[in-house]
Structure 1
C-alpha cells in the first residue's frame, strides 16, 4: 500500500521509536486523544509518545488509509508489550497541509 509521505514518515518514526521525529508530524497546537486521555501541543504530545513507547514498545503496520479532504483514517496493526497484541486500531486524523492537527485513536 502506498501511503502519503507524511503518513509513511509518521509510521516510520514510531517504528524507529523516535518520539521527537514523530512529534514533528504534528502542528504546534495539535491535540491527541488516546486511552481516555488528551494531550495538547507538540511538547505534550512528544512526552505522551515517549511514555507510550517506553511502556508498550509499539510497532505499527499500516493496513488501510483513506483520506477525504483534511480528514483521514489510518488503520493499523499495532503490536507491542500489551494485552491482546497485536491489535487493529484506527487513527482518525485531521490534517493541516502535511501536519496532523488532531489524532483520535480507537480500536
Structure 2
C-alpha cells in the first residue's frame, strides 16, 4: 500500500529539517499522543517537534503501512539524536492533513 500524501509529508518534512512544512501537515486542532504524552494543536505539536523530532535531527523511513477502521497503521524506522528504533504510529486523516497521531 502506498502511503497517503499527509503521511508521506510527515516523513519527508523531518528528513528535510523543515519544521514549517511539518507543522502544516496537521489540522489546527490536531492531537498527537506520544507514549501517553498528549499535544493538542500546532503550538503544542511544535514543542514536541522541537524536543522529540526535528529538534533531535530525526530521520524517518516507512517500514510498512496498513489501513483499517478509517486509520492508517504505520511502522516507522527512526534514527537521529533522540529515539533510534522502529515504532508504531496510528494516523487519522482529515482531508490532506493529520487530525490525530498516536505513537506507541
Q: TM-score of the superposition, structure 2-length normalised?
A: 0.86
Alpha-carbon displacement from aligned partner over 1:50-77 (angstroms, at most 9, x marks no partner) = 22222x3211011111123631111111
Question: Structure with the greater relative contact order (CA < 8 A, sep ≥ 6): 1 or 2?
Answer: 2
Residue aligning to 1:91: 89
Structure 1 pair 69/24, CA: closer, same or farther in 2 (3 Å)? farther
Structure 1 pair 62/29, CA: closer, same or farther in 2 (3 Å)? same
Residue aligning to 2:12: 12
Residue aligning to 1:78: 78
* CA distance in 2 between partners of 1:70 and 1:95 (Å): 8
Deviation at 1:21, TM superposition (A): 0.8
Tell me which of 76, 94, 98 is aligned to 1:100: 98
Q: TM-score of the superposition, structure 1-length normalised?
A: 0.83
The alignment yields a C-alpha RMSD, in angstroms, of: 1.8
TM superposition outliers: structure 1 runs of 4+ over 6 Å:
none
**Higher mean Cα deviation, 71-80 or 1-10?**
1-10
Q: Which runs of 5+ in 2 are unaligned?
A: none
Between the two proteins, the alignment pairs up a number of residues equal to 103
**Higher mean Cα deviation, 74-83 or 89-98?**
74-83
